[in-house]
Amino acid sequence: MAAWSDGRRDDPTPCREQDRGRFEVTQRDGRARLGRLHTEHGVLETPALLPVVNPNIRTVEPRVMWDKYGIQALITNSYIMWKHDDLREVAQRDGVHGLLDFPGVIMTDSGTFQSYVYGDVEVGVDEIVAFQRSIGVDIATMLDVFTRPDMNASEVERAVRETEARAKQSLEAAEGTMLNGPIQGGVFRELRHISAQLMGAHDFAVHPIGGIVPVMEQQRYKEYAKIMMATLPLLPPDRPVHMFGCGHPMLFPMSIALGADLFDSAAYALFARDGRLLTPWGTERIDDLVDWPLLMPCVAGCTPAEVRAMEAEAKEGLLATYNLEVTLAELARCKQAVRDGRIWQLAEQRSHQHPALREAFLWLTTPPTFERTARPKKFYTDRDAARDIDRDQGMWEDAWDWVVWSQQTPRSGGVMWGGDDTFSRPHIAKARRNLQMRWTHEGDVSHAVVFHGIRGPFRERINEVLEWLSTHHPSLEPMILTPLGLVPASLEDLNPFAHLDAPPWVLRHQPEAVRIERALQRLGMTNLPFATVDVAGDGMKQRLAEALASLRLDNDVHAPLTPEQRDAARRRLRMKQAVAKQTVLLNTSHATARSVVEGASFVVNREGRVKNINDAEGEHLFSPRLRDGGMSLATAGAKALYAHRTEPLPTDLPRTEWWGHVGQGPAVVVVDDDAEPFVRKGRNVFHGFALACDPWLTPGEACLIANAKGDLLGHGVAQCTSTELANLRKGIAVKTRGGLSR
């Protein structure tokens, strides 16, 4: 986002002709994304706020928005201009940019919202689109049929069908002008599905989510979240999603976390007219204030009392500017949160600031229960109340899977404890699913010992006893119980499990046998005898001895190992870790992982941590990462994994994403002949040059790059899902980490 300035800002540079209308993703955090929409009046960086400007009432001048605040786009109403002769004449003579004195991107609405408010829209479907084209808008909007939340399903379905019936003629009337294709459907999940699929099949540039203003006005934020979850997974990912009429900053974090790209609203001006101030937690009234809830630049030199004493017009203008500054600041906060990988945490924090928003967030993050069809009459918790019951049970799990699938894990940085909400963060859910689906124990396991009681890194406390257990009880599986779940000791440094920053009581929570049994079962160890060992404080070895005794196993843990035994144990543990990280992080089968590192050597640092894994010939296979417990793939490792691949080479670009194909190795991306020489030189793979990929391609995971003949060209880190690879036409698809010369 541009820095605020008091000077005049240069006009934007038009995009390249071949890029016009294309959308690229530059950074992401799950479904949240930073992007660039290419237009004739510059490249619009998203997420973006498009302030609504009434051509008759300019509370904040568009030129000020551009020059002072660096606002790259705004939205105005083409129906108002079409209806008023004086505005229409100037707009057709000077263009809408000249009329508004705004050099950036201009989107126009078609009059649909006016039909909802006033019911007096008289313009035709073709006519309003042709008019928008004639005044030079960057993004026009077709005349759709508005759906209200109080309409029944039959009425809404007619609106959905009629809107889609107008799509073709609207696109023809646009004659190449970028066009909005609104998604309607009211509060009906199935009709939102239908609208998204029907409208997504047409060549629109942007998809606004329509019919949400009355939902927001009634603070039905749970319905708002349901509309997003019913719609966004089915829309083409190469088109920005515009939350039509959403401009209150309190909704930005949740909306962006779920994939919204564009926002618009007249709230900054309308609320100012009533003496109301926008904040990230709701609305404040100027009449009630002694101090500013947020001190923004425009009010740094005055108090609320001084503003109340102003003339009405001056007061309205200042409050509108305040609202605009607050809104832009929250948007900037969201964008930085995406860069930092913390957008969901920001949405989580914001959810505590309004009960309706909290209800929506809890609904999003609470899995359904099938144990009862009605809630008990006694008191229940907020999260219990958020669970879907009866008809809605389990209906939304595919949409939640869509959110979780796109998460990057492991990721750098600590995980801040946020109470019960911590367990529901999508990237933590993804990490747990990967572990449960991909990890397998080695050989026959007879028992498990579950260590608990401290924060990571765990190796500093348990490495010595792990060596002893590996020597004397090779069929015993050491596990570590973290607040985020049970993990094998071979993955003791894996983010997020080992990187939780939590209060001491969270770590000191005593393990429950039933939960451990269930966790072991999810990891493929059903009915396995186990014992727990608290590793905090003195006497840890004695507690381990007692635990082993309870399992009727040799428990002389104080007996030292010989140097030969210790060296052999360390090698076994390093091999076990190399296999475990391949299975969980690179999606390899246990057999493949073991074969790849057979005879491997390990390069360790002064603390004894493995830095590099080399094969029997000394070729560099992998590098375990210290910062997140992940493992980077080297070129020799890529070649070895590709040689073990059993799946046929992909031949198309999948249009769906799913969790299958466990153990099939890193996903393969097949590129065309034009990209091949660049990949071999280690250059990135760009969208538009991929011919096929495996459906389990996921952001942040290592992938292999091949040509259509099946030759391995290189390896890298995926920046997108398979669906996104099939749709996006601009931006980086794979960050190449190594190329193979001929």
pLDDT at 372: 47
Same domain, yes or no, for 579 and 728? no
Last residue of a domain, one of 351, 366, 382: 351
pLDDT per position as a tens digit, 681-709: 999 999 999 999 999 999 999 999 999 99
| 390 confidence band (pLDDT: 50, 70, 90) | low
* Nearest alpha carbon to residue 411 among 397, 390, 425: 425
Last residue of one domain, picked from the residues 616, 637, 658:
637
Confidence of residue 115 (pLDDT cuts 50, 70, 90): low
Which amino acid does the sequence have at 587? N
CA 197 to chain centre: 22
Q: What is the pLDDT of residue 393?
A: 59
**579 falls within a domain:** yes
Q: Is residue 93 part of a domain?
A: yes
Return the structure tokens found at 273: 């007219």
Contacts of 734 (CB under 8 A, 6+ apart): 669, 684, 685, 703, 705, 716, 717, 718, 719
Rounded to two decimals, what is the model's pTM? 0.95
Q: Whats the size of the chain, residue-wise? A: 742
How remote is the C-alpha of 663 from its chain's centroid? 25
Q: What are phi and psi of 521, to 5 degrees?
A: -65, -40
* 606 shares a domain with 704: no
Q: Which pLDDT tens digit goes with each residue over 10-61?
A: 999 999 999 999 999 999 999 999 999 999 999 999 999 999 999 888 999 9
Residue-wise pLDDT for 192-209, tens only, equals 999 999 999 999 999 999
Q: Number of folded domains in the chain?
A: 3
> Is residue 138 pLDDT above 50, yes or no?
yes
Residue 144's Cβ-count burial label (10 Å; 0-12, 13-18, 19+) is buried
140/267 same-domain check = yes
DSSP character at residue 239: S
Q: Which residue in 608, 588, 593 sits closest to 696, CA to CA?
A: 588
Per the structure, the complete domain to which residue 328 belongs is given by 17-351
Is residue 63 a contact partner of residue 69, using CB atoms and an 8 Å limit?
no
Look at residue 476 and tell me whether its pLDDT is greater than 80: yes
| Domain harbouring 596, CATH code | 3.10.450.90
Active site residues: 109
Tell me whether residue 115 is in a domain.
yes
- Reported as half-sphere exposure (CB side, CA atoms, 13 A), residue 4 has a value of 13
**Strand intervals (E) in 664-706:** 667-671, 685-686, 690-693, 702-706
Question: Same domain for 52 and 146?
Answer: yes
Whether 603 and 631 share a structural domain: yes
> Residue 115: what residue type?
S
Q: Which pair of structure tokens corresponds to residue 343?
A: 């957008």
Q: Are residues 314 and 287 in the same domain?
A: yes
Task: Classify 275 in phi/psi space as left (phi over 0), alpha (psi -120 to 50) or beta.
Answer: left
Q: What's the rounded Cα separation, in Å, for the pair 694 and 685? A: 15
State yes or no: pLDDT of 363 exceeds 70.
yes
Same domain, yes or no: 684 and 620 = no
Residue 78 lies in a domain: yes
Residues 657 and 633 in one domain: no
CB 243 within 8 A of CB 255: yes
Query: From its phi and psi, is residue 337 left (phi > 0), alpha (psi between -120 and 50) or beta?
Result: alpha
Instruction: Write the CA distances from 197 to 160, 191, 207, 232, integer angstroms.
Output: 11, 10, 11, 10
Q: Which of 611, 567, 610, 617 is nearest to 596 (CA)?
A: 617
Q: Is the pLDDT of residue 119 over 70?
A: no
Q: Are residues 577 and 723 in the same domain?
A: no
- Kindly state whether residues 587 and 673 are assigned to the same domain: no
Number of H helices, E strands in the chain: 28, 29
Which residues have C-beta within 8 Å of that of residue 515, sequence separation ≥ 6?
none
Contacts of 163 (CB under 8 A, 6+ apart): 142, 144, 145, 182, 184, 195, 199
Provide the pLDDT confidence category of residue 657 given band limits of 50, 70 and 90.
confident
- From 351, 369, 396, give the residue that closes a domain: 351
Q: Are residues 93 and 29 both part of a single domain?
A: yes
d(CA 557, CA 546): 10
Give pLDDT, residue 114.
Answer: 63
Residue 300 lies in a domain: yes
Q: What is the CATH number of the domain that holds 152?
A: 3.20.20.105
Angle CA 236–240–242, to nearest 5: 115
Which CATH number do you get for residue 727? 2.30.130.10
Classified as helix, coil or strand, 541 is helix
Regarding whether 654 and 626 lie in a shared domain, the answer is no
In a domain, 105, yes or no: yes
Q: What is the mean pLDDT of residues 603-625?
A: 95
Question: What whole-number distance in Å separates Cα of residue 66 and Cα of residue 9?
Answer: 7
